[in-house]
């Protein structure tokens, strides 16, 4: 029982376990202190170790015979382009990009915001920051200027890196006007904005502040790796919480590198030299961990795909990439498979390709629903493995540990806790519940390496959000249960976070935007089940004075406001004008009941409801 032994060892003696795993990396100074607590009483990993994440991802491999191996395969159906980059070439490009950043005054601990589409420069600039010990913060391209502005103010970067445009299927999205607007809105102004001009759009440059990427890199000398401490931050990645202000999850160099290295073999069963493809975006945590850092630290070839599962050009796009590049493991969000299945239910397009290289399919970002699981398993005849994780952890909390010991799959379950994660199901009072009983999913402390130890600049918010609900535990925000065999079943968020097409969004944030409309008295945004995207946001809106108001006009104004303030990625397209919202006697909106009602599920009218008739009024409108 390799898994059981490994898991037990990780829980019984985390220090010995992770101390041993850390030896797989080439540290400048091996950590003597594996686990410690900091001045805030928070567990930290490898505090006195010294390393450089970019060195581990590039220089180490070039020095050890992988210089000529492909590090990155950039495959871009939207520009009809491909580029293959070896480890030696990538090292040169990253060192020059780091040199450019150094010339702009970026050093250890400084922040750099990266707002780029899925092009090699995204990955190159992340590694360049890591090389200097600078802290990158990548912002997903689908976010609108106000979202970028909030992140600029929170991360206070010296430099912002961007491109003239991104391409959504065939639509060219100009990035520079978004960036200019965000800088105008933000109180913090980066000293410089470096722009990669793409042929599909030409960015207007601002004298003094903006620099041309290619010219600036050409003028720079390569920079060397700067050693950092295990606990020094590698990146900040903002994620949605329950309020409007996104949380800056801080990832530390040491724990992250150890977890990345371990997971590539223990979870993904991948060897150095293999081709690995996470079809996600560098703007999300999956992209950070498994497009960039995991595969490169492990010496693999990573695929950087600038396209969609469908329409670029068809639902066979993923199968083409797999066959053409010899992908051994594919990792994506279930939504992508649902989109493919909808277009090509019999997977006819897959038959055009030789997929014999593909050994496993991994899914995460949202629950892998049983029909999608069954379709994949039947059509592709390889293990289809759901695994559960969050931006906060940076890697899987529950998974089928395929590289240790493949376990039988139970449809609807993300399998078992990953070594290091002491996953427990708690009731409201914090007591552990029996097997099979649903509750709040918490992880007993210490969390394993790579998990966040603070929110950027706000350790109190970190403690309050994650550590104070159940002392001794980290609360995940997810609900679910563990069955008699120890299998973990995730049933969804227990807070105001929703998952739309595998993208994590806050309904609270959308409510703040909707609430700004002058006609809106109050509103609730809930996640409604959606066959393709898993969930879609839906607004229920009470107007200040409904008389004479045209509901269709107001709804389209609300849709436009959310798109403008948060971005297209919020996919807020539906709102219903209602006379009243259902509330408890103390004034709390009954969102759970609303959600069940909108989905057509059975629901119990809560005893705390102020006026049950409100539910009937809304039901009549659906
Ligand atoms: N830059 C700018 N706009 C973007 C964007 C980006 N990087 N990514 C998405 N958008 C826009 C889309 O164009 C779309 O705009 P629209 O409302 O004008 O059509 C909107 O944001 C919503 O995007 P999305 O939710 O992705 O829906 P879609 O209908 O464009 O595509 C899928 C549907 C299923 C093809 C797509 O959601 C997908 O590939 N999902 C996989 C999810 C994934 O990789 N998740 C990462 C976590 S693992
Ligand atoms: P993110 O931080 O964007 O990775 O989103 C994390 C959230 O996505 C989790 O808290 C879950 O609600 C959801 N999630 C991720 N993976 C899974 C999964 N395999 N099964 C169910 N939910 C998942």
Ligand 1 centroid – CA 82 distance (Å) = 22
Residue pair 231/47 in contact (Cβ under 8 Å)? The answer is yes
Residue of minimum CA distance from atom 14 in ligand 1 = 568
The pLDDT of residue 130: 99
Separation CA 134–CA 110 (nearest Å): 5
Ligand nearest to the CA of 562: 1
| CATH classification number, 497-621, choose in 3.20.20.80, 3.40.50.300, 1.10.260.40, 3.30.300.30 | 3.30.300.30
Give the ligand whose atoms come closest to the C-alpha of residue 139.
Answer: 1
Indicate the pairing of strand 228-229 with strand 50-51: antiparallel
Ligand 2 contact via 499 beta carbon (within 6 Å): yes
CA dist., res. 341 & res. 339, Å (int): 5
Residue 241 has pLDDT above 90, yes or no: no
Task: Lowest mean pLDDT of 326-340, 381-395, 539-553, 558-572, name the range.
Answer: 539-553
Question: 348-371 pLDDT, tens per residue?
Answer: 999 999 999 999 999 999 999 999
Residue environment code for 250-264, b if the CB has 16+ CB neighbours within 10 A, otherwise e: bbbbbbbbbbbbbbb
pLDDT mean over 402-414? 96
Whether pLDDT at 245 is above 90: no
Mean pLDDT confidence for 600-619: 91
Q: Which atom of ligand 2 is nearest to the CA of 493?
A: 12
Q: Ligand 1: which atom is nearest the Cα of residue 570?
A: 22
pLDDT at 517: 96
Q: Nearest ligand, CA of residue 286?
A: 1
CB contact set of 559 (below 8 Å; sequence gap of 6+): 572, 573, 575
Q: CA–CA separation, 59 vs 53, rounded Å? A: 10
- CA–centroid distance, 515 to ligand 2, in Å, is 27
Computed over its alpha carbons, how large is the radius of gyration of the chain?
Answer: 24
- Assess whether pLDDT exceeds 70 at residue 31: yes
Q: What is the Å distance from ligand 2's center to 478 Cα? A: 8
Nearest atom in ligand 2 to the alpha carbon of residue 363 is 19
Q: Tell me, using a 6 A CB cutoff, whether residue 365 lines ligand 2.
A: yes
Cα dist from 21 to 24, 63, 265, 392, 393, whole Å: 6, 22, 12, 21, 17
pLDDT of residue 242: 72
Q: What is the mean pLDDT of residues 53-61?
A: 99
Alpha carbon 238 to its chain's center: 9
Of the listed ligands, the closest to the CA of 488 is: 2
Question: Tens of pLDDT along 97-144?
Answer: 999 999 999 999 999 999 999 999 999 999 999 999 999 999 999 999
Q: State whether the beta carbon of 369 lies less than 6 angstroms from ligand 2.
A: no
DSSP E strands in 365-432: the ranges are 384-386, 388-389, 396-399, 416-417, 422-426
Residue nearest to atom 3 of ligand 2 (CA): 504
81-95, 176-190, 233-247, 418-432: least confidently modelled range: 233-247
Strand pairing category for 384-386 and 388-389: unpaired
496 touches ligand 2 (CB under 6 Å): no
Question: Any residues with Cβ below 6 Å from ligand 1, and which?
Answer: 141-142, 166, 168, 173, 280-281, 284, 286, 308-310, 332-333, 335-336, 339, 365, 501-503, 568-569, 571
CA-nearest residue, atom 4 of ligand 2: 390
- Which residue, judged by its Cα, is nearest atom 20 of ligand 2? 367
Q: What is the Å distance from ligand 1's center to 376 Cα?
A: 21
Q: How far is CA 189 from CA 164, 487, 565, in A?
A: 19, 48, 19
Whole-number Å distance, alpha carbon 346 to ligand 2 midpoint, is 28
272/66 Cα distance (integer angstroms) = 10
pLDDT reported for residue 271: 98
Residue nearest to atom 9 of ligand 2 (CA): 390
Counting ligands in written order, which one lies closest to the CA of residue 489?
2
Distance 96 CA to ligand 2 centre (A): 36
**Could you give the CA distance from residue 329 to residue 376 in angstroms, rounded to a whole number?**
14
Residue 177 has which token pair?
């006007």
Q: 308 — phi, psi (to 5°)? A: -120, 165
Segment 529-537 shows an average pLDDT of: 95
Q: Which atom of ligand 2 is nearest to the CA of 398?
A: 19
Nearest atom in ligand 2 to 286's CA: 4
Which ligand has the minimum distance to the alpha carbon of residue 495? 2
What's the gap in Å between 364 CA and the centre of ligand 2?
7
* Buried-exposed string 582-605: b where 16+ CB fall within 10 A, e elsewhere: bbeeeeebbbebbbebbeeeeeee
Question: How does residue 314 score in pLDDT terms, banded at 50, 70 and 90?
Answer: very high
Instruction: Report d(CA 336, CA 310) in Å as an integer.
Output: 8
CA of 503 to the centre of ligand 2 (A): 9
Unique residue bearing structure tokens 């995730």: 490
For residues 607 and 299, the model is more confident at: 299
For 399-429, letters b (16+ CB in 10 Å) and e give bbbbbbeebebbeebbbbbbbbbbbbbbeee
Q: Is the pLDDT of residue 244 over 90?
A: no
Smallest CA separation from ligand 2 atom 23, residue: 366
DSSP 291: I
In 3D, which of 425, 295, 467, 283 has the Cα closest to residue 365?
A: 283
Crossing angle of the two packed helices 551-565 and 145-155, in degrees rounded to 10:
40
Kindly give the distance from the C-alpha atom of residue 533 to the centroid of ligand 1, in angstroms, as a whole number. Answer: 10
* Ligand with smallest separation from the Cα of 368: 2
Which of 284, 366, 395 most suits a substitution to test ligand 2, by most atoms within 8 Å of the C-beta? Answer: 366
Between the CA of 388 and the centroid of ligand 2 the distance, in Å, is 6
What's residue 9's pLDDT?
Answer: 98
Please give the pLDDT value at position 586: 87
* DSSP letter, residue 64: T
* Proximal ligand: closest to the CA of 311: 1
Q: How many whole angstroms separate alpha carbon 402 and alpha carbon 266?
A: 6
Tens of pLDDT, residues 540-571: 999 998 788 899 999 999 999 999 999 999 99
Mean pLDDT score of the chain, rounded to an integer?
Answer: 96
Region label for 291, one of left (φ > 0), alpha (ψ between -120 and 50) or beta (otherwise): alpha
| Predicted local distance difference test score (pLDDT) of residue 1 | 67
Q: Is the minimum distance from the CB of 390 to ligand 2 under 6 angstroms? A: yes
Does the CB atom of residue 490 touch ligand 2 within 6 A?
Answer: yes
In the predicted model, is pLDDT for residue 156 greater than 80?
yes
| Percent with pLDDT over 70 in the chain | 100
pLDDT at 243 over 80: no
Domain boundaries, the chain: 84-226, 497-621
Using alpha carbons, select from 431, 427, 417 the residue that is nearest to residue 486: 417
SS3 assignment, position 321: helix
The answer to whether the bond into 139 is cis (omega within 30° of 0) is no
pTM higher than 0.85:
yes
Task: Pick the closest to residue 108 from 238, 296, 234 (CA basis).
Answer: 234
Q: If you measure from the C-alpha of residue 569 to the centroid of ligand 1, how many angstroms do you get, rounded to a whole number? A: 6
Buried-exposed string 492-514: b where 16+ CB fall within 10 A, e elsewhere: bbbbbbbbbbbbbbbbbbbbbbb
Fold of 84-226: Rossmann fold (3.40.50)
Q: Which atom of ligand 2 is nearest to the CA of 239?
A: 2
């Amino acid at each position: 029982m390799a898994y059981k032994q490994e898991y037990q060892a990780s829980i019984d003696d985390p220090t010995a376990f992770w101390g041993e795993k850390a030896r797989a990396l080439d540290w400048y100074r091996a950590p003597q202190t594996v686990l410690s607590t900091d001045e805030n009483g928070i567990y930290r990993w490898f505090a006195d170790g010294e390393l450089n994440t970019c060195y581990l991802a590039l220089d180490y491999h070039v020095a050890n015979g992988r210089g000529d191996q492909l590090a990155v395969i950039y495959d871009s159906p939207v520009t009809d382009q491909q580029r293959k980059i070896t480890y030696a070439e990538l090292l040169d490009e990253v060192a020059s990009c780091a040199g450019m950043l150094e010339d702009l005054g970026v050093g250890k601990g400084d922040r750099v915001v990266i707002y780029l589409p899925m092009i090699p420069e995204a990955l190159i600039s992340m590694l360049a920051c890591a090389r200097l010990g600078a802290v990158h913060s990548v912002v997903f391209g689908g976010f609108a200027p106000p979202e970028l502005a909030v992140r600029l103010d929170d991360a206070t970067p010296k430099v912002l890196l961007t491109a003239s445009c991104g391409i959504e299927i065939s639509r060219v999205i100009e990035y520079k006007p978004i960036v200019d607007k965000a800088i105008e809105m933000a109180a913090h102004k980066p000293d410089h904005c470096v722009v990669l001009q793409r042929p599909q759009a030409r960015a207007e440059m601002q004298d003094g502040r903006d620099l041309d990427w290619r010219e600036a890199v050409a003028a720079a000398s390569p920079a060397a790796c700067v050693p950092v401490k295990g606990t020094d931050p590698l990146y900040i990645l903002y994620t949605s919480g329950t309020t409007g202000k996104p949380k800056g999850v801080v990832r530390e160099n040491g724990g992250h590198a150890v977890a990345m290295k371990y997971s590539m073999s223990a979870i993904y069963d991948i060897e150095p030299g293999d081709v690995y493809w996470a079809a996600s975006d560098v703007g999300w945590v999956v992209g950070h961990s498994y497009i960039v850092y995991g595969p490169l630290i492990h010496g693999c070839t990573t695929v950087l795909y600038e396209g969609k599962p469908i329409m670029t050009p068809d639902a066979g796009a993923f199968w083409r990439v797999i066959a053409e590049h010899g992908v051994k493991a594919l990792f994506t969000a279930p939504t992508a498979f649902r989109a493919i299945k909808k277009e090509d239910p019999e997977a006819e397009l897959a038959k055009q390709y030789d997929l014999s290289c593909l050994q496993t399919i991994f899914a995460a970002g949202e629950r892998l629903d049983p029909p999608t699981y069954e379709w994949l398993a039947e059509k592709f005849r390889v293990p289809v493995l759901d695994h559960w994780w969050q931006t906060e952890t940076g890697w899987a909390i529950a998974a089928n540990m395929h590289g240790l010991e493949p376990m039988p799959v139970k449809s609807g379950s993300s399998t078992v806790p990953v070594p290091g994660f002491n996953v427990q199901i708690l009731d409201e009072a914090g007591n552990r519940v029996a097997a099979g009983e649903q509750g709040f999913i918490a992880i007993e402390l210490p969390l394993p390496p790579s998990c966040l130890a603070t929110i950027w600049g706000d350790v109190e918010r970190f403690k309050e959000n994650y550590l104070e609900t159940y002392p001794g535990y980290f609360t995940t925000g997810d609900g679910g249960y563990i069955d008699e065999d120890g299998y973990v079943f995730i049933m969804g968020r227990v807070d105001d976070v929703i998952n739309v097409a595998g993208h994590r969004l806050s309904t609270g944030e959308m409510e703040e935007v909707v609430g700004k409309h002058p006609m809106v008295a109050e509103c609730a945004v809930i996640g409604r089940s959606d066959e393709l995207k898993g969930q879609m946001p839906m607004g229920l809106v009470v107007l200040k004075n409904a008389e004479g108001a045209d509901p269709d006009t107001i709804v389209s104004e609300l849709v436009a406001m959310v798109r403008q303030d948060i971005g297209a990625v919020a996919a807020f397209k539906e709102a219903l004008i209602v006379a009243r919202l259902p509330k408890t006697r103390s004034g709390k909106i009954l969102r759970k009941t609303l959600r069940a009602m909108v989905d057509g599920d059975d629901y119990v009218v809560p005893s705390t409801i102020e006026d049950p008739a409100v539910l009937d009024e809304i039901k009549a409108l659906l």
